[in-house]
Chains A and B, each alone.
Chain A
Amino acid sequence: MIKYNLLLALRSLIKQRKYAFINIFGLALGLACFILITVWVKDELSYDRFHEDAENIHIVFRKHKDKRAAVSSKLLAPAIKNEVPEIAEATCFMQLPEAFKSTFEYKEKSFTELFALADLEFFKVFSFPLIRGEPDQIFKTPSYILISERASMKYFGTMDALDKNIFITVLGEKKLLTVKGIMKNIPHNSHIQTDIILPLEFMNQFGINWDVWYNQSPTTYIRTESNISIAQLEEKILACKQGHFLEEDLSYEVMPITKVHLNSSGVEYFTTTGDIKYIYIFSAIAAIILLIACMNYMNLSNALSLKRSREIGIRKAQGSRRIQIIQQFLGETFILVFIALALALVLVQLGLPLLNFIAGKSLTIEYTSFQFISIILLVAVLTSIVSGIYPALFASDFQPIQVLKGKFISSPQSAKVRQGLVVFQFVLSIVIIIVTITISNQLHFIQNIDLGYDKEHVVCVALRGDVSNDLEAFKNEILASGHVSKISRSGRIGVNTLSRTEGVNWPGKQDDFQTWVLHVDENYAETYGLEMAEGRFYSRDYSTDLSNGFVINQKAAMEMGFENPIGQQINVWGRQGTIIGITKDFHFSSLYNKIEPLLFRIPDPDQVNSRCSSLSMRIKPNSMPQSLNYIEEAWKSYFPAQSFDYYFMTDRLKVNYLSEARMGTLFKYSSIFVVLIACLGLYGLTAFNVEQKQKEIGVYKVMGAKASDVILLFLKGYFVRIILAALIAVPIAWYAMSQWLSNFAYRTELSWWIFVLAGLIALGIAMLTVSWQSWRAAMRNPVESLRYE
């Protein structure tokens, strides 16, 4: 029995190879997309789970008013470990920002790298496996250093790096370090990513004092007892903190590190590429793609079963039970799905590099792992059941008396189901097209919005260490060369590198006032093309500017509440001065946020190296490559020890929207696949209809119908269905997209043309698909089709 059904299934596959191909290919595409997205989702969900006791490791976020930040005082960790009984261990860890990129040297090998800082408790909380060294020794003195296998290979090759010396040049000073630990490379699914970790105390020698409650720099991680109440823990941490140092509007949020990767977007001083939103969205897309593929199968095999009605009739007349026919049809579906699955695995392997490119990952798939095999088998079985059950029920319901009489069964009911499925597929397709257009629209919008400054033609070079000796000469040379019109040394904007302070005071200050601080020199406004609203920017012509002048933006002026801000006395971090100018507001942060108060500050002379780690140059627009070359050459001759590490302002701004851009690309591909699969189904269905109506077409043609009349006959029905699909899709997409856009403080309109365009795209592609088939039918010689019977 099974053997016969198998044989029969294979023979009918071969006989109906056109439809079998469409079915298999559609299912394979659907399965491949589903598997790829699942692999990505699984990876996103796997973050930070490799630590022993991972569910009891938490990150402590500091919440001030509504802002969450991943920083706390260095004193918090030891204090809560001592005073809060639920906390077993606590550690401070800090990933230093770009500005602290430093040069590490071993003999002739020298690299510029980012590094991180940690305290002695680091290994009591985290379980990054050590290859060499003792966990309780590694951060014991400020000159010890922990490196990864990768870094060890880079600096020491195959040598044992333990106890080797390595030099670091940071903030212009060269220090000697000793390698006291080598750890395995941190897995890619860890939110902590670094190859080099130094003790927190290392920074003390640069006059940085973090052992105070009012400084918030490192991130605090804790390991707790099992099954504790997070809410109570947060209360106790707050109580402990307030006992040492009282702050208003403060609270703490404790989050398991297994959740950090996906739930921390928007947390200050924390970068994550993950977002739980995207997990939901793409899981839904994976399901939709697979569902559309299943619907293709349903539709096509439902239609094809009409062709097999005689076979079913005979079987029933011979005494086959309905359940046996259902088994037969489901069995055929299983065979088809498993062929499709094999093809899908090939597509997955081919598509993996694309996924990695889009998602910015380097995922691999362990095809032979038990987990992978059981997942794909489960998916295949589910797919078979979802796709196969309707056609099986439908076909097994044929009455032998009718089919054996040779009557053509048109079954208006099943035709309606098929039409309904086509409409549903196109609703989903159109929604996804609208989403894709809207996202790319918004990306275009934020990349082209008037930021309030001129971001074009600005090249920024990272400054490391002490460059004060040669910088003036360098600046003079390239200015004289004519390649560069303006140069400014400053902190960085456009990324989350600014600091925010409450330390601005003035007589009569009433409300709390917070402002971002940007360290600049007097050329900043000119270099970036900032416009002044009132007063003037810092200038060399006024000797007092550098020591006691302040420039703020309009928003800051407004929030300070001065009627006449120019000339007002304010005190910033203990430096008393006068407001000399107000710039027009400009977007110095990402467009998620409204413009906030900003204060420009000239750093104290001894802090220039650490505060202003970026050199911005406005290049003359028409000869960018040559100019860049020239600057690089000059840079190398002046600062041979420093790498020429540059970026264009426009590129740096894109980083802010990287995750949106990724999502945009993912949607672009998803929509291509969704539409492709839906059209594949439509193609098959039209082919079937054309076949069914061959005689009808023949008769029409004999009666004098033109080819266009025949094509129209087929187009008409689909035209109406796709318009209907568009009408259903538009409100759904409109709602979803207005929700998404509300994340942005600055956003495009959801204009009507997006919806019209999406509808037209779907309509156009569908009409092309249908026309191709019907055109061929229309061109056939009617005698041929009428000769049948």
Chain B
Amino acid sequence: MIDLKNIFKYYNHKSQREYILKDINLSIKEGEFVSIMGPSGAGKSTLLNIIGLLDGFNEGEYRFFDTEVATLKEKKKVDYHRNHIGFIFQAYHLIDEMTVAENIETSLVYKGIKRKERQAIVADLLDRFNIVGKKDLFPAQLSGGQQQLVGIARAIASKPNLLLADEPTGNLHSSQGKMIMEVLKELNDEGTTIIQVTHNNVFANYGKRIINLLDGRIEKAE
């Protein structure tokens, strides 16, 4: 599903070249749950963003579903975002002006799903995460854990094959974090491929595989 070969990412600062990622080789199959760990500035998020087609790279080869990403057209990328990739963010990134239900529904709108069907999907998700009672509240009225639940619900609404989570528990208390991780594990059990970036050793272990990044290199891959 994901095939990274000799990926380099760097910025040029005057005469110096600052490497973010160095020679990344990584292969992830469908149904995996991968945790990326490492200290701040190791390039974890950059790697995740490259995988999620949000960021580019300077050298190397990236095949996503057997398609060479470097030659991928913008339109096709948008298509992947709509149908195959879901994002979960550390800071939730819910839209403040939208209610919980509306936030979840937005990703479906872009997929061109009919209204009735959208509402059914949203209702299912609300039910699944036990937040039916909160559906008309705005993000600011929820706790962090609840907001992240909404973030996950939004991310999986369009049934993506790949879920990318950038420190999904970073802003949460450990009990709430645990709840979120349980949810992710459940999703993985249902077949969704998940890649998460985390600092937390305990939560990293929810992954079936842990990748350790240091200074842009994969130091240890289990």
- Give the interface of A toward B (CB within 8 A): 1, 4, 7-8, 11-12, 15, 310-311, 313-321, 324, 399-401, 404-406
Contact = CB atoms under 8 A, between A and B. Distances in A.
Contact of A313 (B82, B93, B97): B93
23 contacts: A4-B102, A4-B109, A7-B102, A11-B97, A12-B97, A15-B97, A311-B97, A313-B93, A314-B94, A314-B95, A314-B106, A318-B81, A318-B106, A318-B107, A318-B154, A319-B81, A319-B83, A319-B107, A399-B54, A401-B49, A401-B54, A401-B55, A404-B89
Contacts of B49: 401
Closest 10 pairs (CB-CB, A-B): A319-B82, A319-B81, A11-B97, A318-B107, A401-B54, A319-B110, A401-B55, A311-B95, A317-B87, A12-B97
Contacts of B137: none
Contacts of B93: 310, 313-314, 404
Contacts of B102: 4, 7
A318 B102 CA distance: 14
Q: Is the interface of A mostly helix, strand, loop or mixed?
A: helix
B78 interface: yes
Given A8-B97, A318-B81, A400 B110 contact: no
A311 B91 CA distance: 12
Contacts of A1: 109
Contacts of B89: 404
Contacts of B154: 318
B78 A400 contact: no
B54 A406 contact: no
Given A4-B102, A401-B55, A317 B81 contact: yes
A324 B45 contact: no
A708 to B, nearest CB: 35
Interface of B: 45, 49, 52, 54-55, 75, 78-83, 87, 89, 91, 93-98, 102, 105-107, 109-111, 154, 158
Contacts of A4: 98, 102, 105-106, 109
Contact of B78 (A7, A8, A319, A404): A319
Contact of B98 (A8, A324, A405): A8
A563 to B, nearest CB: 89
A321 B73 CA distance: 13
Contacts of B158: 318
Given A15-B97, A405-B45, 20 more contacts: A4-B109, A7-B102, A11-B97, A12-B97, A15-B96, A310-B95, A314-B87, A314-B106, A315-B106, A315-B110, A317-B52, A319-B78, A319-B111, A320-B78, A324-B110, A400-B54, A401-B54, A404-B54, A404-B89, A404-B93
A1 B112 CA distance: 9
**Which of B49, B83, B111 gathers most chain A CB within 10 Å?**
B49
A182 B79 CA distance: 77
A318 B82 contact: yes
A317 B110 contact: no
Contacts of B87: 314, 317-318, 404
Contacts of A320: 78, 110
A317 B54 contact: yes
Contacts of A401: 49, 54-55
A324 B158 CA distance: 18
Given A401-B49, A405-B45, A318 B110 contact: yes
A478 B80 CA distance: 101
Contacts of A11: 97-98
Contacts of A324: 110
Contacts of B54: 317, 399-401, 404
B91 to A, nearest CB: 6
Contacts of A12: 97
Nearest to B91: A406
A609 to B, nearest CB: 82
Nearest to A317: B87
Contacts of B81: 316-319
A315 B97 CA distance: 13
A492 to B, nearest CB: 71
Contacts of B82: 318-319
Contacts of B75: 321
A315 B94 CA distance: 10
